[in-house]
Amino acid sequence: MRVPDVELTERETALLDQIRFRYSSHDELRASLMPMAGLTESLLERGAIPEVRLLYFTDPERNPGGRGKSRQQVFENNGTSGTEIYAHGNFLKFLEYFIYGPALPPSIVAKFRETMSFSGYLTAGDINDLAPAARAAVRSARLIPHEAAEEFHKLALECGAMPSSAESIRKSILTVR
C-alpha cells in the first residue's frame, strides 16, 4: 500500500480510506466519488497539495497532448466545472497523483531525484543523459511504457524540469518496446 506524501488530517485520512483508486465495479467507483470530492476540497482549502502537482492539472504547458488546454480545461470543455470536477470519475487519477506523487517504484524515484539534484535544472545535455537511464529503468522494472512515460513526465516536472524537458523524457520513454 502506498503511503501519502502529503500530510493528511484525521478527517482527510478517513475520506481517503473510503476511496478505491483500483476499483472493480462501477458501484465501487460511485462510492468513491463523494469522499473524493470532500478530500480534494479539504486539501485545496489547506493548501496541502504541492504547487507543481496542481500545475500538472491546471497549466496547459504541462499537458503535452492537450492541444493547448490544461487537464482542467478539458474537463470544463466537456461540461464539468468547478467542484463538480472533484466528484468526476476521471478525476480519480489526478487526486491519486496529488496525494501520492508519481506512480513509480521508490528506488527509481530516488535515483532520478538524486540525478536531478546535481544540476539544479535540466539542460539539453541532462536530457540526453536522463532519457536512456529512464528507458532502462522502465525495461528493468518491467513497467508499461505508456503509463511509465506519464509518471516520469510528472517526476521530471517535480524535479524542476521545464515542461518541454519533461515532455522530451516522456517521448523518449514512449519509444520503449
Phi-psi category of residue 69: left, alpha or beta, with phi > 0 → left and psi -120 to 50 → alpha: beta
pLDDT for 148 equals 96
In percent, how much of the chain has pLDDT > 90?
79
Judged against a pLDDT cut of 60, whether residue 20 lies above it is answered with: yes
DSSP assignment string, 122-142: --HHHHHHHHHHHHHHHHHTT
Does this model's pTM top 0.85? My answer is yes
Radius of gyration of the chain (CA): 17
CB atoms inside a 10 Å sphere around CB 168: 21
Q: Are 108 and 151 in contact (CB under 8 A)?
A: no
Judged against a pLDDT cut of 70, whether residue 59 lies above it is answered with: yes
Residue 161: pLDDT band (50, 70, 90) is confident
pLDDT for 119 equals 56
- How far is 170 from 64, CA to CA, in rounded Å? 9
CA distances from 120 to 73, 76, 157 (A): 31, 35, 12
DSSP assignment string, 68-124: T--HHHHHHHTT--GGGGGGSGGGHHHHHHHHH-S-S-HHHHHHHHHHHHHHSS--H
